[in-house]
């Protein structure tokens, strides 16, 4: 048999008779041979079949937990998809890719993304399983026949079953979302929503998952503002698009958390819009490689500039009470100062561009409204000065 004859020429690995038999049975050896022989179309199809087909549920390997061994199976599928895509590109180069069909590579890329989403699900599920096991052990220690023990046993068994399934095959996206939602695995839910976006959007559900992540799944508590901010930056880094990183939800929640901790109207703190725009002391002291993409000033202004035209969450916050109103005015002041601050050193074209955005957003009329409404003398003076700066900019 050609596959067995060329076995010694393959990349290093276990080469016992048992290993060789497993490789032959699974199709791994055939895929490697086709790749080695530069039969790119056949190799790509073989690796794609390896990734897309179900695998037997793996048993725990020595030195690894069952879940770790199963995760490796999923990672092998991801590697197979990567090689299948590489072979398809090589087929493009030698002119043989017509045999694969026009949608072949697109399907491979979608399966690659699905496998990445599944890996995220698996990694989030594993600590949930461990937490359930710890809770069960505590319950059994406190009272062996406690009523909740049987339910906890059933939950752990279901988690193990779904973990094995997600690691052994590419699963239906709707099922994956249902499981993530059921067990409050919000990071996985966001990844699924982002993956499904070209087909259908679920903005209301995204907002729920986003809020739960920012609050670390503790909606009735007040997590530290710094922790919420860290979560927001992580989401921004992973999902810079407006569908997942819903600015209205993020700004409202961060402002609310900062205000709850009474870090309110002092100018000695970094304001939410300044931080999200990539400015402020807490941002500048951190390495650039861990910073997410800054939120553009104009997008932030739409959340703060006018309580009547901003998003629903910020609108509710603007109308909450006097203290919240003053807090948000201070954030708006910081936003405008940050936006105007670099203009003296900018080229004329850049300044004209900013002035055009200001006119489009109606910044001057918003400032006139604030000046007429605000009762705090210092804030009124500050906004008068800001209006003067904006007016001078627009005279260019």
pLDDT single digits (tens) 249-275: 999 999 988 888 764 445 456 889 989
Q: Is 190 inside a domain boundary?
A: no
Q: How many domains does the chain have?
A: 3
Between the alpha carbon of residue 144 and those of residues 137, 140, 151, the distances in Å are 10, 4, 13
- One domain, residues 92 and 135: yes
Q: What is the mean pLDDT of residues 73-89?
A: 94
- One domain, residues 103 and 158: yes
pLDDT, greater one: 288 or 350: 350
Residues 6+ away with beta carbon under 8 Å from 38: 90
How does DSSP classify residue 280? S
- One domain, residues 44 and 106: yes
Q: Can you give the pLDDT at residue 288?
A: 52
CA distance 367 to 154: 60
Q: What is the mean pLDDT of residues 156-169?
A: 95
Collapsed DSSP state (helix, strand, coil) of residue 34: helix
Q: Is 189 inside a domain boundary?
A: no
Q: Is 185 inside a domain boundary?
A: no
CA distance 229 to 290: 13
Q: Is 331 inside a domain boundary?
A: yes
Is the pTM above the cut of 0.85? no
Q: What is the mean pLDDT of residues 294-323?
A: 90
- One domain, residues 331 and 346: no
Q: Is 217 inside a domain boundary?
A: yes
Q: Is 181 inside a domain boundary?
A: no
Q: Is 14 inside a domain boundary?
A: no
Q: Can you give the pLDDT at residue 108?
A: 94
**Least confident among 205-219, 228-242, 266-280, 305-319:** 266-280
Compute the mean pLDDT over every residue in the chain, rounded to the nearest whole number: 84
- One domain, residues 365 and 307: no
- One domain, residues 139 and 246: no
Q: Is the pLDDT of residue 216 over 90?
A: no
Percent of the chain with pLDDT strictly greater than 90: 45
Q: Is the pLDDT of residue 7 over 80?
A: no
Q: Can you give the pLDDT at residue 212?
A: 94
CA distance 350 to 300: 19
pLDDT bin (cut points 50, 70, 90) of residue 281 is: very low
- One domain, residues 151 and 216: no
- One domain, residues 271 and 355: no
- One domain, residues 275 and 347: no
pLDDT, greater one: 62 or 248: 248
**Least confident among 52-66, 220-234, 304-318, 375-389:** 52-66
Q: Is 188 inside a domain boundary?
A: no
- One domain, residues 33 and 136: yes
**Least confident among 102-111, 158-167, 342-351:** 342-351
Domain hosting residue 132, numbered range: 20-176
Evaluate whether 29 touches 7 at the Cβ level (below 8 Å): yes
Q: Can you give the pLDDT at residue 360?
A: 87
- One domain, residues 273 and 350: no
- One domain, residues 359 and 329: no
**Least confident among 141-150, 257-266, 294-303:** 257-266
């Amino acid at each position: 048999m050609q596959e067995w004859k060329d076995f010694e020429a393959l990349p290093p690995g276990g080469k016992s008779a048992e290993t060789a038999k497993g490789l032959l049975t699974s199709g791994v050896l055939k895929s490697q041979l086709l790749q080695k022989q530069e039969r790119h179309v056949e190799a790509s199809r073989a690796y794609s079949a390896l990734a897309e087909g179900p695998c037997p549920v793996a048993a725990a390997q020595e030195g690894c937990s069952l879940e770790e061994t199963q995760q490796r199976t999923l990672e092998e599928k991801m590697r197979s998809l990567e090689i299948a895509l590489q072979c398809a590109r090589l087929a493009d180069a030698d002119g043989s890719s017509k045999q694969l069909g026009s949608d072949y590579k697109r399907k491979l890329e979608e399966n690659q993304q699905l496998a990445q989403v599944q890996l995220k699900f698996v990694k989030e599920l594993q600590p949930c399983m461990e937490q359930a096991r710890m809770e069960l052990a505590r319950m059994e220690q406190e009272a062996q026949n406690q009523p909740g023990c049987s339910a906890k046993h059933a939950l752990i068994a279901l988690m193990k079953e779904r973990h094995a399934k997600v690691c052994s095959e590419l699963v239906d996206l709707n099922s994956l979302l249902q499981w993530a939602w059921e067990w409050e695995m919000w990071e996985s839910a966001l990844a699924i929503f982002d993956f499904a976006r070209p087909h259908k959007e679920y903005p209301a559900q995204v907002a729920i998952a986003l809020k739960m992540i920012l609050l670390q799944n503790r909606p009735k508590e007040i997590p530290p503002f710094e922790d919420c901010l860290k979560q927001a930056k992580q989401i921004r880094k992973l999902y810079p698009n407006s569908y997942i990183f819903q600015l209205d939800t993020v700004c409202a929640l961060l402002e609310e958390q900062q205000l709850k901790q009474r870090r309110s109207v002092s100018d000695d703190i970094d304001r939410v819009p300044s931080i999200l725009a990539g400015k402020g002391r807490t941002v500048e002291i951190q390495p650039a490689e861990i910073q997410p993409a800054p939120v553009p000033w104009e997008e932030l202004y739409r959340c703060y500039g006018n309580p009547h035209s901003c998003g629903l969450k910020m609108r509710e916050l603007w109308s909450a009470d006097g203290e919240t109103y003053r807090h948000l005015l201070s954030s708006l002041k910081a936003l405008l100062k940050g936006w105007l601050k670099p203009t003296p050193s900018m080229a004329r074209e850049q300044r004209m561009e900013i002035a055009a955005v200001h006119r489009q957003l109606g910044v001057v009329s918003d400032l006139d409204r604030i000046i007429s409404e605000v009762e705090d003398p210092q804030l009124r003076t500050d906004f008068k000065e800001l209006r003067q700066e904006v007016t001078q900019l627009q005279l260019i």
